[in-house]
Chains A and B, each alone.
Chain A
Amino acid sequence: MAFLIRMGQPEMESLWLDLTTRKQQGKLDKDEEKFFKKLVKALGYLKENPRHNSLASHEIDDLTRKYGLKIFQSYLENNTPSAGRLFWAYGPDKGDITVLAIEPHPEDQKRGAYQRIKLSTFPAAKPKSHGKG
């Protein structure tokens, strides 16, 4: 059974519209073109079989607990998490799959901010005690 693929609103939908419009106009740059190709391939697999081996789909328990909805993650490239990930859920209707988010976010790519090693701000240091006085 093939699923109907839908995009989450509003961001994912507008992102897809932007990508597809620019693809048709031939305005995607080299990196975006590469990313779009991977995305379409992954969505194709997702449509036919969400458990396709290439997707390595698995439920993210933390997100499922947080949102009270089963949320799955699939890879854009076979067994390569760093190549990008899709987050999706079944619904809203039976036979539907809604793509909730993608990573890397295209804005991150444009700015070159997506890196394999991510650094975050350092947690606030505890003040050192300098003894009595």
Chain B
Amino acid sequence: MPTATLKRSKAARGISIVQHYDIAADAKNRISLRGATAKYFHVQALSNGSYVLQPRVLVSPDAIPARTLKMLESSVAQLKKGKASAPIDLARFIEG
């Protein structure tokens, strides 16, 4: 008799369950994560009542966001070719 097997999805490869337990939220709706390896998490509350926690790390506020860096890179590339916009006129926007 043939045996049916489920193929593992690509996304699940490399991830395994290391703990599973039941837990109750306290009076303030807080739960404790046992053996958590991160201090900060991104939380996704799903429509089926599940929660997905993704670990995050803090980044210095001095770091430049990716979008700004992309803008900077394109501006620098053009500036090195001697290209920039025409001089801007600030006078009409500066309140006396």
Hey, which bits of chain A sit against chain B, CB under 8 A? Answer: 4-13, 15-16, 20, 23, 36, 40-41, 43-44, 47, 63, 67, 69, 71, 81-82, 87, 89, 91-92, 96, 98-105, 107-108, 114, 116-123, 125
Interface size of B by CB at 8 A reads 38
Task: Note all chain A residues with C-beta closer than 8 A to B74.
Answer: 8-11
Asked if A47 contacts B65 (CB within 8 A), the reply is no
Task: Note all chain A residues with C-beta closer than 8 A to B37.
Answer: 125
Interface 0/1 of B62-93, CB less than 8 Å to A? 11110111111111101110111111101001
Closest to A47 in B: B90
Of the candidates A23, A71, A92, the one whose C-beta lies within 8 Å of that of B82 is A92
Of the candidates B55, B64, B94, the one whose C-beta lies within 8 Å of that of A122 is B55
Is B59's beta carbon under 8 Å from chain A? yes
Hey, which bits of chain B sit against chain A, CB under 8 A? Answer: 37-38, 40, 42, 54-59, 61-65, 67-76, 78-80, 82-88, 90, 93-94
- Complex alpha-carbon distance, A72 and B86, angstroms: 20
